[in-house]
Amino acid sequence: MILSLILNSILVAIAVLIHFEALNKLSGVIPLLPIKHRFRVLFGIFGALFAHIAEIWVFAFGYYFMVHAKLFGALQGDFDNSLMDCTYFSFVSYTSLGFGDIVAKGDIRFLAGLEALTGLVLISWTASFMFIEMQKQWKSS
């Protein structure tokens, strides 16, 4: 249980740091782009999406490690222990869709819950960031 807590904390911290750095970089780059303001906003959206995808892959590698270590429980259902299935489960968890075709059993359930909470917070952070960026861009045009 302690090892699971440590691993979960590291994965959440990595995801938050990736997001922080991505938004920080975007906030510096967007105003400098020599393109129309609406394309700057699109650049920000695609940059944020790229950050979210990177974060989802971080969790996917965490699931992959946890499933193959056999110390943290398992993912069951329509699941074949592949990295792609771990990535699919990560996308479903991060976005809080929870289709239910893959189910977490054992300590790995806590990572699924933490990923959903982290995804909710980071998606909200992106929405707030993009709202502020759109206000800046639309006021300056």
pLDDT one-digit tens code per residue, 74-131: 999 999 999 999 999 999 999 999 899 999 999 999 999 999 999 999 999 999 999 9
**What pLDDT does 112 receive?**
97
Cα→Cα distances 140→12, 37, 128, 137, Å: 36, 8, 19, 5
Domain CATH number, residue 32: 1.10.287.70
For residue 139, what are the contacts with CB-CB under 8 A and spacing of at least 6? none
Distance, CA of 67 to CA of 83 (rounded, Å): 10
**Assigned token pair, 89:** 């489960």
Share of the chain above pLDDT 70, in %: 99
Distance, CA of 22 to CA of 5 (rounded, Å): 26
The boundaries of the domain holding residue 70 are 2-140
DSSP string, 23-62: HHHHHHHGGG-SS-HHHHHHHHHHHHHHHHHHHHHHHHHH
The H or E element that residue 120 is part of is: helix 108-140
pLDDT tens for residues 39-86? 999 999 999 999 999 999 999 999 999 999 999 999 999 999 999 999
Count of structural domains, the chain: 1
